[in-house]
């Protein structure tokens, strides 16, 4: 138990070090744009592919489940839309990004730690935590919401294709999409995404930053980072939902 | 000059450095020698501030390290150049960008001036025209030389080298040794080299400290080394067959 408290304490001490004013603004912005590419753009294809197919499958499953003449067909579009906005796009995509981006961050920073590159930064008088981690956190908190919005659109597009393939008309599907649309659901989804983005990058960076040993430990840090950030995503998903939707 | 006064360091119950006092002179290559696990890397890391110390004081030209606040430590660290065992070059940066990195962070030089400084440093380590190579494209010796070029980019007053010859062939090791000696004398800096390579000791050891079980057991220069009556030192120095043979043939 004490070990966990110690770990949480170390995490907050690291975050205090991370959130300090960057030493050189121009270098920080250069790093930030690099991170947009590394944590954001490079995940675009996987997010779009998964969203398209999940949207399609969700629609087909709904169509099969509510195959009853008394239930209006437009509910298929309605359920697909809400499933994507409320849960699939923010939470499932966050779990996928925890695997892809999180492991990448933990192994990158972990490798820098064991090859003394982080020591070299510290020796030069550079705040290594802020220099390495802050651009990643900011980039993910700004870019993940963009990915989630794209995921919602592509998921709905996939849903429409899936619906057509089993006989749901475009008119019914679009009517479902328009029915009782609450813009707050999108806000809720984006708020969750920003929180998840922070969790993924900060937790992965934490495990990478405190890696000790060799290549084997880098792998372990990477795995621990993915597992723990996934668990925390699910816990915070519950907390945020309780706070915002009930 | 670096003055170490009564320095002690332990990890939990394990005392690694025991009341070390020593003066490391400017313009000389100060070699710290000793077996693996003797405490020399810990000593070096204490000197550069990567390990906190339990007791004692470190003075860099009469400036007490313990009295410096965070801001002063950051500024002071720009006076330090460190050559890490593996080079610690940033994988994602080219040779030029690696050397330019401290210049970008701490100077307001123009790009042209920075490039000139990079080329000067590369020329010092005999690696002209390697600016666009990446660390993965460099040999072990080249990596060390680029790391030296980066370490001297900001004109440091103190140069720390941790096992500069590890993993290098004898010819390249001599090249690195000579480079360290040349830079030390030319720029009149305080150089501390952590090594267990006896060839380096014979090559550049102008001030040698022998650490054994966390204590300094012997101090001297390369000429005194072979005449020492210290058993631990002799066991270390003459551990190899080559050096034993040379001793029997009265080499000095």
Helix and strand counts by DSSP (H, E) for chain B = 10, 10
Please tell me if residue B77 touches chain A, with a CB cutoff of 8 Å. Answer: yes
pLDDT score at B226: 76
For residue B218, the cross-strand partners are B210
Q: What percent of chain A has pLDDT over 70?
A: 100
Cβ contact, residue pair A123, B48, below 8 Å: yes
- Beta-strand relationship, B190-195 and B14-24: unpaired
Print burial letters for A21-50: b (CB count within 10 Å at least 16), e (below 16): ebeeeebbeebbeebbebbbeebeeebbeb
pLDDT at residue A45 is higher than 90: yes
In chain B, which residue's Cα lies nearest the Cα of A119?
Answer: B50
Half-sphere exposure of B147 (CA within 13 A, CB side): 32
Q: Residue ranges of the alpha helices (H) in B61-110?
A: 70-77, 95-106
Instruction: Check whether B241 has a pLDDT greater than 80.
Output: no
A180: Cβ contacts below 8 Å, ≥ 6 apart: A78
Report the residue of B45, B46, B49, B84 to disrupt the A interface, i.e. the one with the largest count of A CBs within 10 Å: B84
Interface test with A, best of B88, B91, B153 (most A CBs within 10 A): B88
Q: Do A124 and B105 touch (CB under 8 A)?
A: yes
Nearest residue, CB atoms, A115 vs list B75, B77, B88: B88
**pLDDT value for A123:** 87
Partners of residue B85 in chain A, C-beta under 8 Å: 116
Contact B48 A24 (CB under 8 A): no
User: In the predicted model, is pLDDT for residue B252 greater than 60?
Assistant: no
Rounded Cα distance between A105 and A83, Å, is 29
> How high does pLDDT run on average in chain B?
87
As a whole number of angstroms, the distance between CA A22 and CA A25 comes to 6
Q: Which residue's structure tokens are 């629609």?
A: A59
Question: Which tens digits make up the pLDDT trace of B123-178?
Answer: 988 888 899 999 999 998 899 999 999 999 998 999 999 988 888 888 888 888 88
Q: In the CATH scheme, what is the homologous superfamily, with its name and number, of domain B1-79+161-220?
A: P-loop containing nucleotide triphosphate hydrolases (3.40.50.300)
Query: B228: which DSSP letter?
Result: -
Name the residue facing B82 among A23, A112, A120 (closest C-beta): A120
Kindly give, in sequence order, each residue whose CB lies less than 8 Å from that of residue A126, ignoring residues fewer than 6 positions away: A23, B105
DSSP state, residue A89: I
**Taking a C-beta distance cutoff of 8 angstroms, is the pair B1, B23 a contact?**
yes
B203: pLDDT confidence band, cut at 50, 70 and 90? Answer: confident
From A187's Cα to the closest Cα of chain B, the distance in A is 37
Has residue B246 got a pLDDT over 70? no
To the nearest whole angstrom, how far is the Cα of A108 from the nearest Cα of chain B?
10
Q: What per-residue confidence (pLDDT) applies to A23?
A: 79
Would you say the ipTM is above 0.90? no
Q: Which two tokens stand for residue A166?
A: 């089993």
Q: Compute the distance between CA of residue B107 and CA of residue B156 in angstroms, rounded to an integer.
A: 14
pLDDT at B247: 66
Terminal-residue alpha carbon distance, chain A: 32
pLDDT in tens, A82-107: 999 999 999 999 999 999 999 999 99
* Contact residues on chain A for B78, CB-CB shorter than 8 A: 124-125
- What is the count of residue pairs from A and B with beta carbons less than 8 Å apart? 48
Cα separation, A168 vs A35, in Å, equals 42
DSSP designation for B40: H
Pairing status of strand B29-33 against strand B55-60: unpaired
Domain with CATH 3.40.50.300 in chain B: 1-79+161-220
Half-sphere exposure of B166 (CA within 13 A, CB side): 13
Which tokens belong to B167?
């993993």
The pLDDT-based confidence of B251 (bands split at 50, 70, 90) is low
The strand pair at B55-60 and B2-11 is best described as antiparallel
Whether A200 shows a pLDDT value over 70: the answer reads yes
């Amino acid at each position: 138990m004490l070990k966990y408290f110690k770990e949480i304490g170390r995490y907050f001490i690291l975050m205090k070090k991370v959130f300090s004013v960057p030493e050189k603004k121009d270098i920080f912005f250069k790093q930030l744009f690099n991170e947009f590419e590394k944590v954001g753009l490079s995940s675009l294809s996987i997010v779009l592919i998964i969203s398209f197919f999940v949207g399609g499958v969700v629609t087909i499953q709904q169509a099969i489940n509510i195959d009853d003449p008394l239930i209006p067909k437009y509910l298929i579009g309605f359920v697909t839309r809400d499933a994507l906005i409320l849960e699939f796009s923010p939470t499932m995509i966050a779990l996928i990004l925890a695997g892809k981006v999180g492991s990448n961050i933990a192994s990158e920073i972990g490798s820098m730690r064991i090859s003394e590159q982080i020591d070299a930064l510290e020796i030069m008088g550079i705040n290594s935590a802020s220099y390495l981690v802050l651009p990643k956190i900011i980039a993910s908190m700004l870019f993940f919401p963009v990915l989630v919005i794209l995921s919602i659109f592509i998921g709905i597009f996939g849903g429409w294709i899936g619906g057509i393939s089993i006989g749901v008309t475009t008119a019914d599907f679009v009517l479902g999409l328009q029915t009782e649309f609450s813009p707050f659901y999108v806000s809720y989804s984006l708020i969750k995404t920003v929180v998840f983005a922070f969790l993924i990058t900060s937790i992965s960076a934490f495990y990478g930053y405190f890696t000790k040993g060799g290549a084997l430990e880098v792998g372990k840090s990477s795995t621990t980072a993915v597992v723990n950030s996934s668990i925390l995503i699910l816990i915070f998903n519950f907390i945020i939902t309780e706070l915002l939707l009930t | 000059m670096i003055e170490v006064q009564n320095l002690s360091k332990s990890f939990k119950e394990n005392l690694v450095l025991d009341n070390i006092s020593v003066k490391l002179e400017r313009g000389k290559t100060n070699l710290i020698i000793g077996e693996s696990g003797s405490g020399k890397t810990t000593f070096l890391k204490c000197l550069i501030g990567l390990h906190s110390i339990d007791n004692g004081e470190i003075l860099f030209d009469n400036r007490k390290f313990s009295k410096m606040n965070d801001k002063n430590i950051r500024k002071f660290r720009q006076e330090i150049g460190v050559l890490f065992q593996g080079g610690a070059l940033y994988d994602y940066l080219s040779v030029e960008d690696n050397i330019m990195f401290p210049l970008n962070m701490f100077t307001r030089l123009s790009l042209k001036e920075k490039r000139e400084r990079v080329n000067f440093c590369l020329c010092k380590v005999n690696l002209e025209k390697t600016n666009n190579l990446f660390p993965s494209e460099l040999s072990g010796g080249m990596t060390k030389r680029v790391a030296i070029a980066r370490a001297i980019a900001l004109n440091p007053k103190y140069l720390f080298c941790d096992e500069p010859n590890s993993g290098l062939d004898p010819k390249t090791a001599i090249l690195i040794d000579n480079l360290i000696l040349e830079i030390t004398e030319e720029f009149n800096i305080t150089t501390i080299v952590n090594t267990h390579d006896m060839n380096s000791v014979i090559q550049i050891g102008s001030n040698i400290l022998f650490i054994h079980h966390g204590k300094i057991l012997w101090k001297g220069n390369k000429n005194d080394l072979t005449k020492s009556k210290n058993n631990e030192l002799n066991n270390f120095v003459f551990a190899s067959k080559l050096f034993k043979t040379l001793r029997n043939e009265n080499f000095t």
